[in-house]
Amino acid sequence: MSKTSTVQTQSTSSTPPCPSWCTQGVGHEYGSVGRHELARYHISKDYLDWSQIMALETRLDGPAVCEAPFISVCADAEGLNAEEAAEVVASLSLAIQQLAEINGAR
Ligand SMILES: [Zn+2]
């Protein structure tokens, strides 16, 4: 007459929830990222089309591990004119602010 089975219903989900800032959709897929066979990037919205917040989550045998979020700058952010450079600066300001909020909420 054991009733222990009622306790463990929530921990069986194989895909942990995304951070609140991720725009990739609930339960977005794992794939191969670099040397990781099972990994996915959580990706924020674009900040003025020049930068985003990203975080790499990897899964090995155990539970998923999410690394610290970082700012990713668009690869086109070089050879800029003054107007574009100002946009990049504004974009990074927004991303820095967002990253501080994310880290503050941990
Ligand atoms: Zn995500």
Judge contact between 67 and 77, C-beta under 8 A: no
Q: Which domain holds residue 33?
A: 18-104
Taking the centre of ligand 1 as the mean of its atom positions, its distance from the CA of residue 41, in whole angstroms, is 6
| Mean predicted confidence (pLDDT) in 25-52 | 93
- Residue 96 domain-assigned (yes or no): yes
- Residue 1 domain-assigned (yes or no): no
pTM reported for the whole predicted model: 0.80
Which token pair is 62? 């155990």
Taking the centre of ligand 1 as the mean of its atom positions, its distance from the CA of residue 67, in whole angstroms, is 12
| Mean predicted confidence (pLDDT) in 73-102 | 97
pLDDT at 13: 52
| Mean predicted confidence (pLDDT) in 75-96 | 97
- Residue 8 domain-assigned (yes or no): no
- Residue 2 domain-assigned (yes or no): no
DSSP H helices, 1-106, are 82-104
Taking the centre of ligand 1 as the mean of its atom positions, its distance from the CA of residue 88, in whole angstroms, is 24
- Residue 5 domain-assigned (yes or no): no
Q: In whole angstroms, give the CA distance from residue 59 to residue 54.
A: 17
| Mean predicted confidence (pLDDT) in 69-80 | 96
Q: What is the tally of structural domains in the chain?
A: 1
**28 pLDDT more than 60:** yes
**94 pLDDT more than 80:** yes
pLDDT at 33: 85
Burial tier of 105 (Cβ tally within 10 Å: 0-12, 13-18, 19+): exposed
Taking the centre of ligand 1 as the mean of its atom positions, its distance from the CA of residue 24, in whole angstroms, is 5
